[in-house]
Amino acid sequence: MSTNSARPPVPAQVDAVIVGAGFGGMYMLHRLRGLGLSAVVFDTATDVGGTWYWNRYPGARCDVESMQYSYSFSPEIQQEWRWPETFSAQPDILRYAGFVADKLDLRRDMWFETKVTEATFDPASHRWTVRTDRGDVVSARYCVMATGCLSAARLPDLPGIDDFQGATYHTGWWPHEGVDFTGKRVAVIGTGSSAIQSIPVIAAEAAEVTVFQRTPNFSIPSRNVPMTDEYEQSWKSVYPERRAAARMTRNGVLADPNDFSALSVSEEERQRIYEDRWRRGGTTFMAAFNDLIVDKAANDTAAAFVRSKIRDMVKDPRTAELLAPTSHPIGTKRICVDTAYFETYNRPNVTLVDIRPAGIERITPQGVLTGGVEYEADIIVFATGFDAMTGALTRIDIRGRDGVALADKWEAGPRTYLGLMSAGFPNLFMITGPGSPSVLSNMMVSIEQHVDWVAGCLAALGERQLDCIEATQAAEDDWVAHVNEVAHKTLYPQAASWYMGANVPGKPRVFMPYIGGVGAYRAICDEIAADGFRGFRLTAPAQAAVAAE
Ligand code: FAD
Ligand code: NAP
């Protein structure tokens, strides 16, 4: 492990290169070691944690409760670690990542401050050559891309962005030393999850906050509270059972879902159920009924309920109307979870600016120009999101068979088999890749499932003395069609969301994650593995394909 220029050399040959030292890469390294395989991990960060290393903005917090957003693979770790709050703040999640890295001695195989720039497959040797921005060249049998679905932060392409004379920050690249907002005029661009979490905290410190909103979002209060011993024990005493149950749910979260339609109950009963979910807080609001994401009329009832709550919370009727989302069904953009977000607009130092339809005209040396008005600011916070799901992968020059670049193959949208592999890219695995439930789920559950599947696959290859696995084109085509078909049975494609690639100008509009559900997806993956890795071509060193189409 190294974080400085005197770093030890990276081994020239390993069984596996893992890109990314977030929760995906950390667990992958642990599993590979358990198989007796050698591995190195690269990350551009200076330490482990991935998302929770980079997103240090004020208010950053988990929207899945921590008893569920944590590793389940080690009984010792899950019993020993203690979360201070029910929905953990970023510093605690980062401390947890460090705790796990210490416990498993992960850092000795990790090389930080090192960006993977290229990965090239050699069909003759069945090996990948991986290159980094520090001149490392590593030959690896397997390459595991644990690069994260929300790790490629992006600034909008706004004219004048470099002319601003104050300080600018992106929520996904937040400085380690923090930002002092005291007495400052702050412009926040964006109203997604990161903005919704950070605005209340910034507003409590800054002189003025001006929020530039293009699309209002639905948000549910988190109801975060300090962890009590009783609550912690109520989980820890039955952790194996709860974890097993979560793995078979739709979203990887135990949410106590109601299995009936919003339209099957009286108006009075519907309101009672929504009130109860609102009082409980968090994303499980969407589990109030079983058809909120497939039936527009059902969805409308939930959306209307949340809009009415917004109108109750925000005193100025015009601001309340601007904050009430109408452009997309609730839940079809990632639902936000907040702590006093809407109430923050009642503060005298907070102003909401609706930038529709023209958007931001330009960034000026003094601030933000929109609708012909210049809003002066000392600091601009870009809470403008990510090139989600594909960005971290396509920013690496990944070349598979015949020198084909992954970025070119995915020009019209990502194509994978199970979100785990892409045809033409043998021995290259993705952790929570497009085509898997990933971002629609509690990511810890999905990360563990993918890592376990990859580890099981490599163990099976070893047992059969094979050294190469590749998705077949036919299996990939069928899976992509299935992912699309399932998505289009829901309301999700109706929103211009980052799930659809709609937040990045020019990115193809394809619904990227698999919405069939975490439990159902796990069963598919397990069944395919049990059936000799159906849809994958497995080959031995220098031999023809031996199995499994
Ligand atoms: P990441 O944590 O993103 O780690 C990927 C790592 O790969 C990064 O450290 C990055 O630096 C590195 N990397 C990428 N490309 C390269 C390269 N070319 N060379 C070297 N290193 C590279 N999910 C939930 O389930 N619940 C939540 O509440 C939740 N909250 C979130 C809040 C925020 C602000 C964000 C952005 C995401 C949130 N997520 C949440 C999703 C979150 O990304 C996952 O839960 C999880 O942390 C992802 O882990 P990972 O290891 O797959 O990827
Ligand atoms: P995001 O959801 O993509 O939100 C980005 C915001 O910036 C949107 O409001 C977007 O408006 C706006 N924007 C982008 N480009 C713009 C431009 N050129 N001009 C004006 N506005 C612009 O990004 P995020 O908030 O960082 O969240 C990304 C994901 O990370 C979340 O959906 C979630 O999965 C995860 N996350 C989770 C939590 C949590 O609660 N645990 C917190 C943060 C993030 P449009 O909507 O109009 O595009």
The topology under which CATH files domain 13-152+388-548 is: FAD/NAD(P)-binding domain (3.50.50)
pLDDT band of 1, cuts 50, 70, 90: very low
Ligand 2 centroid–CA 293 distance in Å is 20
Cβ of residue 60 lying under 6 Å from some atom of ligand 1? yes
User: Which ligand approaches the C-alpha of residue 119 most closely?
Assistant: 1
**Spatial contact of 176 and 56, defined as CB atoms under 8 Å apart:** yes
389-432 pLDDT, tens digit per residue, is 999 999 999 999 999 999 999 999 999 999 999 999 999 999 99
Cβ of residue 513 lying under 6 Å from some atom of ligand 1? no
**Spatial contact of 394 and 406, defined as CB atoms under 8 Å apart:** yes
Ligand 2 centroid–CA 498 distance in Å is 8
Ligand 2 centroid–CA 195 distance in Å is 7
What is the identity of the amino acid at 203? Answer: A
What are the boundaries of each domain within the chain? 13-152+388-548
Nearest to 248 by CA among 537, 518, 533: 518
**Spatial contact of 497 and 503, defined as CB atoms under 8 Å apart:** yes
CB neighbour list of residue 24: distance below 8 Å, 6 or more residues apart: 50, 146, 148, 431, 432, 447, 450, 451
Mutation choice for ligand 1 from 68, 96, 151, 386, CB with most ligand atoms inside 8 A: 151
306-325 pLDDT, tens digit per residue, is 999 999 999 999 999 999 99
3 pLDDT above the threshold of 90 = no
Instruction: Find the mean pLDDT for residues 265-269.
Output: 98
68-109 pLDDT, tens digit per residue, is 999 999 999 999 999 999 999 999 999 999 999 999 999 999
Cβ of residue 192 lying under 6 Å from some atom of ligand 2? yes
pLDDT value for 279:
96
Pairing of strands 379-382, 167-170: parallel
Q: Alpha-carbon distance 28 to 360, whole Å?
A: 42
Ligand 2 centroid–CA 189 distance in Å is 9
Give 371-415 as a 3 state SS string: CCEEEECCEEEECCCECCCCHHHHCCEEECHHHCEHHHHCCCCCC
Q: Alpha-carbon distance 238 to 252, whole Å?
A: 17
pLDDT value for 2:
45
User: Which ligand approaches the C-alpha of residue 19 most closely?
Assistant: 1
User: Which ligand approaches the C-alpha of residue 45 most closely?
Assistant: 1
Instruction: Find the mean pLDDT for residues 485-514.
Output: 94
Cβ of residue 503 lying under 6 Å from some atom of ligand 2? yes
Ligand 1 centroid–CA 37 distance in Å is 24
pLDDT value for 5:
58
Which ligand 2 atom lies nearest to the CA of residue 156?
A: 18
Ligand 2, atom 26: nearest CA belongs to which residue?
385
195 pLDDT above the threshold of 60 = yes
Task: With both helix axes pointing from N to C terminus, report the angle between 443-463 and 239-247 in degrees, rounded to the nearest 10.
Answer: 80
542 pLDDT above the threshold of 80 = no
Mutation choice for ligand 2 from 155, 193, 363, CB with most ligand atoms inside 8 A: 193
pLDDT value for 50:
98
pLDDT value for 448:
98
Cβ of residue 191 lying under 6 Å from some atom of ligand 2? yes
Instruction: Find the mean pLDDT for residues 476-490.
Output: 96
546 pLDDT above the threshold of 50 = no
Cβ of residue 20 lying under 6 Å from some atom of ligand 1? yes
Cβ of residue 194 lying under 6 Å from some atom of ligand 2? yes
Ligand 1, atom 2: nearest CA belongs to which residue?
50
**What mean pLDDT value characterizes the chain?**
96
Instruction: Find the mean pLDDT for residues 535-549.
Output: 68
pLDDT value for 255:
86
Mutation choice for ligand 2 from 65, 213, 334, 497, CB with most ligand atoms inside 8 A: 334
* Radius of gyration of the chain measured on its C-alpha atoms: 23
DSSP-assigned beta bridge partners for residue 42: 19, 111
Ligand 1, atom 18: nearest CA belongs to which residue?
116
pLDDT > 90: what percent of the chain?
Answer: 96
Ligand 2 centroid–CA 334 distance in Å is 9
Q: What is the pTM of this model?
A: 0.97
Structural tokens at position 80: 């020993």
Cβ of residue 198 lying under 6 Å from some atom of ligand 2? no
Ligand 1 centroid–CA 531 distance in Å is 32
Structural tokens at position 161: 């962005």
Cβ of residue 199 lying under 6 Å from some atom of ligand 2? no
Cβ of residue 359 lying under 6 Å from some atom of ligand 2? yes
**Spatial contact of 243 and 72, defined as CB atoms under 8 Å apart:** yes
**Spatial contact of 452 and 432, defined as CB atoms under 8 Å apart:** no
218 pLDDT above the threshold of 80 = yes
Query: Residue holding tokens 């979360």?
Result: 83
350-383 pLDDT, tens digit per residue, is 999 999 988 999 999 999 999 999 999 999 999 9
**Spatial contact of 393 and 150, defined as CB atoms under 8 Å apart:** no
Structural tokens at position 354: 């609706």
Cβ of residue 156 lying under 6 Å from some atom of ligand 2? yes
51-69 pLDDT, tens digit per residue, is 999 999 999 999 999 999 9
Instruction: Find the mean pLDDT for residues 137-147.
Output: 98
